[in-house]
């Protein structure tokens, strides 16, 4: 979908969330604590949110569609993938490579 690709490429890090989603809050808090200024789109408050959510569910293989994290315009994944990357020490270098963090 062109809409998702366009939104995902507007910033180094883009997160699609839902306002009452605890896992979404955990992911956005992690990114914020790392110093990332992510663009966050709350799909339940977006007029085209349902359409975007369907596209994200398709891209994520039918699992939960939020949170969906894009880094450098590329889909990284949801909560499990982002947390695994962080615990493995791979998230920060990925964020730095995308220009979302500076040392």
Instruction: Measure CA 54 to chain center.
Output: 15
Question: Closest Cα partner for 16 from 1, 35, 38, 34?
Answer: 38
Cα gap 48→97, rounded to integer Å: 31
> Angle 56-59-65 (CA atoms, 0-180°, nearest 5)?
35
Domains of the chain: 2-97 (3.40.30.10)
Q: Rounded mean pLDDT of 6-26?
A: 95
- pTM for the predicted model, two decimal places: 0.94
Residue 81 and residue 92 in contact, taking contact as beta carbons nearer than 8 Å: no
28-81 pLDDT tens trace: 999 999 999 999 999 999 999 999 999 998 888 877 789 999 999 999 999 999
1-15 pLDDT tens trace: 588 999 999 999 999
């Amino acid at each position: 979908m062109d809409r998702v690709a366009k939104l995902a490429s507007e910033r180094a890090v883009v997160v699609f969330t839902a306002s009452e989603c605890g896992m979404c809050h955990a992911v956005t808090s992690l990114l914020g604590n790392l110093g990332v200024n992510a663009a966050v789109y709350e799909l339940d408050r977006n007029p085209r949110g349902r359409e975007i959510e369907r596209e994200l569910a398709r891209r994520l293989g039918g699992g939960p569609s939020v949170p969906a994290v894009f880094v450098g315009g590329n889909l990284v994944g949801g909560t499990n993938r982002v947390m695994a990357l962080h615990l493995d020490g791979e998230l920060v270098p990925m964020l730095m490579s995308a220009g979302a963090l500076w040392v």
